[in-house]
Structure 1
């Protein structure tokens, strides 16, 4: 028997597919492409990156992404009389796809990869014709696709339906914008305090559950009050934005960086043991020290930062405690002369 979670998500796929097929929604290629687009966006948001190049070759990259991540055990592609033959071995969720394929008039409903493929080729005014799809046995599935020009990408969609879809897209984009604004620091473009606190707890819980190392850096600009006093607050704002750019360049894509408040910043380093955290912190410290800061009016500004690192793993202390420890280490770094890194060490005195 399959595990409950796998069957549950297959059940959702089948349920949505059956109802949409019932109302003949999937006869509209435009709708299939939109669903494929949303599937890819969801995958991207959850770490399975699909970097489109705006080339029809994206179709091959898409298929490789699915196979590489276990959508099928193997895939063999060979030329056919029209298009290509695809032979899949141990296709994931094949029972659900077969049930939908037998029900729906449009064969592309049977598989989420097909929906994503429809989106990719549709961007180039193409469409895929499926000449056949056969479930040979429980482990082998064969399909024959042909890539052809799409002379009517919107099909016979009613103009009122199209207008409604456009309004929905506008509303969706606004919602995404509001979401982005709610978690973003307006001055630096980095994440804000609210987001780092929410995400930090989630990331720490994940690290604790899977026994993964994790580190926190807290750093601030040395003598930033002097910068503001000398160059004005506008000059200080330019320095903060420049520092944010250096963070983006010096940190990894998996790291989460936010403006903690004023001239103070915090970085969460997932899956990072203490020695590696020290290397990353030193790279950042040195990048700031060597950078050419200015006040935005041509005046050079010398900037350094002090960094504190928590000294414990997530499985040993909470996110809040790790923040406090990193902050204590930062205080020590500033007390001992600034422009340096200090790792928190528990004195055992509470």
Structure 2
């Protein structure tokens, strides 16, 4: 009998209708891989009765771990709460909306058994993904690679497998504003990729709004690179030299010719541009100071209201 244990972490926010069907499907697939299976569902402050349905399901399925957060903390915090609540030889992060297929799990486990600590997944196609989101995704990965120096396989989400070593390293390095796909790249170790075909969402529409995606991108870039500060500082220096040179030339010509030098419109344009750059610099500094504030205050990224783990009766 195999002694390898694999746990799948599923964050759920108002996705009770889809996660209830996904849990037994995942357990069946894991059993076919000849491992000791476990599924951990993190209820991220749902308001559709998800937690009640999960508690009821757990009465007949002891291999289900249920984590209830005290409110909605966001997808990344919910994933981190799930990772911190389980222990297994390998842990797989997976969405609850049905787009991440359980049929990809055997290939991920096989790659892990080949010795890889992190098994990333890349969708060959994502049904229903708009051109705007596709383009913005390409842009984000390019900007992130340029600014951070880290390589995240383009197109990956948080659907990935972590060995016990990678799991522990990810928990240690996640921080207060987790960006897990960046963290799993940062820890290094031996990594591989598995390709899969994404499913249609089983119910409803995505809860990842454009605003949440922007916040995720901000946390990823600010959390893993200080290069934006260096770039803006360099631009500020260059622009200061340009403005200073223009002013020096204007004063020199005025003193040598004894008359006003035309071109005040150009001067105003330069100063206005510099003022705009200053606003960008202040905003960028604010993002980094905000991130630093979150780390210094040492508030946890989530609060667990209830945890039903193996061995609990209710």
Report the TM range for the smaller structure's normalisation: under 0.3
Pick 1 or 2: higher relative contact order, CA cutoff 8 A, min separation 6: 2
Larger radius of gyration: 1
- Normalization by structure 2: what TM-score? 0.24
